[in-house]
Amino acid sequence: MAAAEVPHDEQAFLEYVQAGGQVEATDWIPDEYRAKLVKFIEMHANSELMGVLPEREWILRAPTLQRKLALTAKVQDEVGHAQLIYRVVEDLGKPREQCLADLVSGKSKFHNVFHYPTKTWGDIGVIAWLVDAAAIISQKALLKCSYAPYARIMKKICWEESFHILHGRDVILALVTGTPQQFELVQEALNRWWPPLMQFHGNPIPREEDPMWQWRIKSQGNEEARQQFLEGYVPQIWELGLTVPDPKLRRRDDGVWEYTEPDWAELMHVVTGHGPKTEERLAFRQRFLDQEQWVRDVLAA
Amino acid sequence: MSEEVWEVFRQERRGQPMEHAGSVVAPDADFAETWAREQYGRRGESVALWLVPRDAIRDVEDWADEFDLKYRRVDGYSIKARLKEARERASAGTG
């Protein structure tokens, strides 16, 4: 059967992607679509790169050698994801150096959950299990992204994320089957992480109004993603005897989860560079960019 | 040194097709191999990689249809409008 051609006209292109059409790096794409792709994918890459910093802090403090190796592997994977994703952005026309400069200057964003501190080993379990679970829900939906090169690298990323979730769940299980203090460590971490987790998928605007959905960069709405997270993970949290710190949280008979309205003002405040750890982590990233400049210079020579 | 885009294809198991995985930017084939090994083979997820300079790819995307062969396929037959007309005629005839 003859291949459907990618239309060279913005309106026809929009209809093409809305009908499930995908495009390649070498195809013509509208400027507006390119700009949206760069914004979305760059934030994803930034999040992978910044997301390792909270975990990195615990590599040296991991309780066993096995945990230290697993956490190191996870950090290595996430940086690898950043490499793959920045390459897609680069191919769309924004150089990697510019992405990194915009990240450290605060011009571009990264996900809310990576602006918070990791206070205890319990945080490492909650991040690997629940933050990665929330992230994999978004990433699985990107397997159907209208921009095919991005959809394809997501296959590898999702494959690695599934090991991270299991690693996190294993950390949590070891703690909840340990001493009362260890159980309390998990509960306390969950209490702190729950609000950012509920904000993670964004405000519940109808997907029809979300430009990322209109261009079929995302294949699901924010609230759909959050509902999927609650449906998949709240029962797993409850079965361990843990409490989700939201008195309103309940599953209705029709399967929809009700919850306390997340603090959207906090989300906006945090992702615009005012999180508790934003400044410290960006300064850290800047320091390493400066420190490793000679490597890039040598390679470019 | 000028950099070049290399498309990376990977094979998951022997006998399976090489599938496009992504791309790397590198000044030469050796660097391209280093980046590709790191990004697509680190966890033993590939048994083989192919690295191809993007410029070396001959892209074939236009499919001329001078000899319209659609009659050999299901999508060559659009009967909806004619069927509607036929049904209308038939009901008008019996009415």
* CATH number among 3.40.605.10, 1.10.4190.10, 1.20.1260.10, 2.60.120.10, domain A12-300: 1.20.1260.10
User: What would the pLDDT profile of B47-89 be if each residue is shown by its tens digit?
Assistant: 999 999 999 999 887 777 767 777 777 877 888 888 998 999 9
Mean pLDDT in residue range A61-65: 95
How far, in Å, are A75, A188, B94 from residue A59 at the CA level?
Answer: 9, 21, 84
Closest-CA distance, A290 to chain B, in angstroms, reads 22
Q: Mutate which of B25, B30, B72 to test chain A, going by most A C-beta atoms within 10 A?
A: B25
Kindly tell me if the per-residue pLDDT of A149 is higher than 60: yes
* Angle, in degrees to the nearest 10, between helices A132-141 and A148-176: 160
Kindly tell me if the per-residue pLDDT of B95 is higher than 60: no
User: What would the pLDDT profile of A201-222 be if each residue is shown by its tens digit?
Assistant: 999 999 999 999 999 999 999 9
Determine, for residues A2 and B59 on separate chains, whether the beta-carbon distance falls below 8 Å.
no
Residue A150's nearest CA partner among A91, A98, A221 is: A91
Q: What whole-number distance in Å separates Cα of residue A266 and Cα of residue A196?
A: 9
| SS3 category, B25 | strand
| SS3 category, B44 | coil
Q: In the block, which residue shows the tokens 């603090």?
A: A263
Residue A114's nearest CA partner among A275, A266, A232, A269 is: A275
According to CATH, the superfamily of the domain at B4-56 is Phenylacetic acid degradation B (3.10.20.520)
Nearest Cβ partner of A87 from B22, B59, B61?
A: B22
| Residues near A100 by beta carbon (within 8 Å), at least 6 away in sequence | A285, A289
Q: Please, which residues bridge with residue B8 across strands?
A: B22, B51
Residue B12 has φ and ψ, to the nearest 5°, of -80, -45
Residue B2 has φ and ψ, to the nearest 5°, of -85, 140
Average pLDDT, chain A: 94
Q: Is the ipTM of this complex over 0.85?
A: no
Domain ranges of chain B: 4-56
Closest-CA distance, A87 to chain B, in angstroms, reads 7
- What is the pLDDT at residue B94? 63
Closest-CA distance, A3 to chain B, in angstroms, reads 7
Domain ranges of chain A: 12-300
Contact (CB, 8 A) for A91 and A85: no
Q: What is the pTM of this model?
A: 0.87
**Run of H or E including A290:** helix A278-291
Q: Mutate which of A8, A22, A79, A91 to test chain B, going by most B C-beta atoms within 10 A?
A: A91
Q: What percent of chain A has pLDDT over 70?
A: 99
Q: Please, which residues bridge with residue B24 across strands?
A: B6
Nearest CA in chain B to A300: B1
Average pLDDT, chain B: 88
Residue B21 has φ and ψ, to the nearest 5°, of -110, -40
Mean pLDDT in residue range A62-80: 94
